[in-house]
Every structure is written in structure tokens, then in C-alpha cells.
Amino acid sequence: MSTAFEFDSKEFASSISVQVPHVEGTYDLTPDQVLLDQAEHESEVRSYPRRLPIAIKRAHGALVEDTRGQIFLDCLAGAGTLAMGYNHPEINQALKEQLDSGLPYQTLDITTEAKDRFIKRVKAFFPEQFATESVIQFCGPSGADAVEAAIKLAKQTTGRNTMFAFRGAYHGMTNGTMGMMGNLGTKARRTGLMSDVHFMPFPYSLRCPFGLGGDAGAKQSIRYIERLLNDDEAGIMKPAAIIVEPVQGEGGVIPAPAFWLKELRRICDEHEILLILDEIQCGVGKTGYRFAFEEAGISQIFFVFLKRLAVVCQCRSLYSTKRSIHGMLANIRAHSAVTN
Ligand SMILES: Cc1ncc(COP(=O)(O)O)c(C=O)c1O
């Protein structure tokens, strides 16, 4: 497939300007009728429209046109989900072909040839060892759905209820994922979120609870976690899983050092704790690797990635001794995002 920058601009010149807009004066952002209707009929629970008060008419590549005909350069890209831009001709063509091929709209998690092809393409994109060791579970279409599925699988396979997350973490806005969120402002008015979550120090100089920062702070964070797990008087039960973003996204775009991730992997091995890597924001080519965890060279992970096409991957070998895994997978209602 070509990249978003290689499409034939002539093809679209008639429908929308493909030039980056030249702005003179200020844009009109007073609410037009579409926005007034939205305010009247939609719930107050809206997030992006509060900061971006526009109604979108059409979009192409990195450009968005609002209902007033004003052109914007879109740096949000569906919160990082539209790597190929809007209305990429090859993606549109594939969608049209799929629609005309007679595939059913909905098959629950019953497979189709299209889904089979998709899984093989996704696995071909994984690092080789991870691809051979892993199986894929399809969840609902959001990143939070994938994290929720990983939490459930971790709790069910280990029989434990506790989770370790990190200060500064963001894993979504559901009851369980918010329970593992660092940001207090967002959580402040929500009581009764998923309980039994304990927050460990993430290696970040500006928030280093040991006053060290850098590699020294990261090493201390590992020591802290290890000592806590080895301490019978720590008051915290061994977790089902430790969940971590290899690069914290909402927490400030903070990469965890590769040695720190390796050490976390070692600790998880020694204590038979599952390691969940949340690459929903930092995965798929954003760190110089296909996936951020590759730099640390670790495997045996629960891996959640791809916003808007939530997927949980589990390493097969992780479960080779757990007879319950197949029954468990069947019980979790996993919808295929391809056939939905
Ligand atoms: C690291 C991380 N995990 C999970 C999520 C949740 O994804 P979604 O908004 O699709 O539920 C996000 C969203 O930005 C994220 O950045």
C-alpha cells in the first residue's frame, strides 16, 4: 500500500483542496445550526467537541473541512488512529470491495475468510518470535475494551484480584481502566472504581518519589516493586498482573528505559505475575520500532494495541500450563472488529 503522502492529489482536487490552508484573519468558530443541534440533542458527556467546536463536513488526507467550508490541518487524526489519513483511496477501495463481496455485516466471533486474512496480516507485522508465540483475542472496538479483556484474563488465569498500575498511567475511561488511572482530576468525582489497584512509581525524573530521577530513579523503582513483592508485611497482595505503558502517553509521553522493562519482566517471571503492555497509544511504528516493547527485547506478554480495533494478544507459552485458557477465551464475549 502507498503511504498517505503518495496518493494522486488530482483525483481529489475536485472534492476538497489538498493544499495546506493559508489562513488569513481568524476562523469563525461561533456555533452554526449543526453545532446548536448537537448541543440540544446530545448528552453533556462530550469530550473533544468542548475543545474543538466544529462540525465536520468532509475530510481528506490530513485536511478537514467544517460545515462552513473552513479547512483545517488535522493534527489529532482520530486520536492517533488514522495513520493513513482520511479517505485514503486504497482503503476506500478495499472497503467498497468488501461491501460488494457479500460478506455479512455481523457474525459475532464466528470467523470469515476476511477475518482470517486480517489475522495473518496482523501477525506478519509482529516481531517473529512474538508472532509464533501469540494468539489474538478480538474485543469491542475501543482501547479500554482491550485493557478490560486483559484484566479479566489475568484475574481468571491467576485466581488473584489485585492489579499493579503506575503513577501517571492512562488505560481508558471504563470503570476498570479508570481505576488504574494516575490522573486524580479525572477520577475525583467517580467513586467505586475497580478496587484493589496499587500504584507503583514509573521511571520519570519529574515525579520520582525517591528524589533521584534518571537511571538511578528507575533502578530504585524496580527495587521498590521487588522488595514490596518479597515483603510478607507489605499489606498488598501479589497482583494478577502488572500493567504498564512502555511509553506513558497521557501522563506526558514518557518512555520507560529498556533496562527497566527487562527488569519488570524478570520480576514478573520470578513471582508468576502476568505483564500487560498497553501500546494502544505508543504502538505501531511510533517509537522507531514496530512496537515499543521491542527495544527491551522482552516477550511472554499480554499485549494490547491498536486503538479503534481493540486486540489483546496473549503469548501461547504463557498459558501452556494453564488448562483453563481455551474455556476462558470462549466465555469472554469477544466480537470481531472486522465483521462487526
Ligand atoms: C495507553 C492507552 N490505553 C488505553 C486507551 C484507551 O483507548 P480508547 O480511548 O480507545 O478506549 C488510550 C487512549 O488514548 C491510551 O492512550
- Give Cα separations from 33 to 30, 38, 50, 146 (angstroms): 10, 9, 16, 37
Interatomic CA distance for residues 122 and 108, integer angstroms: 20
**pLDDT at position 8, please?**
52
Beta-bridge partners for 54: none
Q: Which residues of the chain have pLDDT under 50?
A: 1-7, 13, 317-340
Q: Give pLDDT tens digits for 261-317.
A: 999 999 998 999 999 999 888 888 888 888 888 888 887 666 666 555 556 666 554
**Going by CA atoms, what residue is nearest to atom 7 of ligand 1?**
143
Cα 188 to averaged position of ligand 1 atoms, centre (Å): 19
Q: Do the strands 274-279 and 311-315 form a parallel or antiparallel pair, or are they unpaired?
A: unpaired
Q: Do the strands 241-244 and 274-279 form a parallel or antiparallel pair, or are they unpaired?
A: parallel
Q: Which of 280, 304, 306, 311 to mutate to test the pocket of ligand 1 (most atoms within 8 A of CB)?
A: 280
Interatomic CA distance for residues 19 and 141, integer angstroms: 33
**pLDDT at position 336, please?**
27
- Residue 215: which residues within 8 A CB-CB, separation 6 or more? 257, 259
Which atom, in ligand 1's list, is nearest to the CA of 80?
14
- Do residues 39 and 87 lie in contact, with contact meaning Cβ atoms separated by under 8 Å? no
**pLDDT at position 167, please?**
97
SS3 171: coil
Which burial class, exposed, middle or buried, applies to 202 when counting CB atoms under 10 A from its CB (0-12, 13-18, 19+)? buried
Tell the residue number behind the cell numbers 464475549, with chain if given: 333
Q: Which of 142, 145, 170 to mutate to test the pocket of ligand 1 (most atoms within 8 A of CB)?
A: 170
Cα 112 to averaged position of ligand 1 atoms, centre (Å): 28
**pLDDT at position 295, please?**
85
**CA atoms in the 13 A half-sphere facing the CB of 141:** 7
**Which residue ranges form the domains of the chain, and what is each CATH number?**
1-102 (no CATH), 113-331 (3.40.640.10)
Element (H, E) at 312: strand 311-315
Q: Strand 302-305's sheet: what is its strand order?
A: 134-138, 311-315, 302-305, 274-279, 241-244, 163-166, 197-200
**pLDDT at position 214, please?**
95
Q: Is 85 left (phi over 0), alpha (psi -120 to 50) or beta?
A: left
Cα 36 to averaged position of ligand 1 atoms, centre (Å): 29
Q: Give pLDDT tens digits for 220-245.
A: 999 999 999 999 999 999 999 999 99
Q: What is the CA radius of gyration of the chain?
A: 22
Which atom, in ligand 1's list, is nearest to the CA of 308?
10
Interatomic CA distance for residues 186 and 198, integer angstroms: 17
Q: What angle is formed at CA 144 by the lines to CA 45 and CA 95, rounded to 5 degrees?
A: 90
**Going by CA atoms, what residue is nearest to atom 8 of ligand 1?**
143
Interatomic CA distance for residues 319 and 326, integer angstroms: 10
Which atom, in ligand 1's list, is nearest to the CA of 147?
4
Cα 183 to averaged position of ligand 1 atoms, centre (Å): 14
Which atom, in ligand 1's list, is nearest to the CA of 142?
10
Q: Do the strands 71-73 and 63-66 form a parallel or antiparallel pair, or are they unpaired?
A: antiparallel
Cα 100 to averaged position of ligand 1 atoms, centre (Å): 32
Tell the residue number behind the cell numbers 521487588, with chain if given: 226
**Going by CA atoms, what residue is nearest to atom 13 of ligand 1?**
172
Residues with CB under 6 A from ligand 1: 79, 142-144, 147, 170-172, 245, 249-250, 278, 280-281, 307
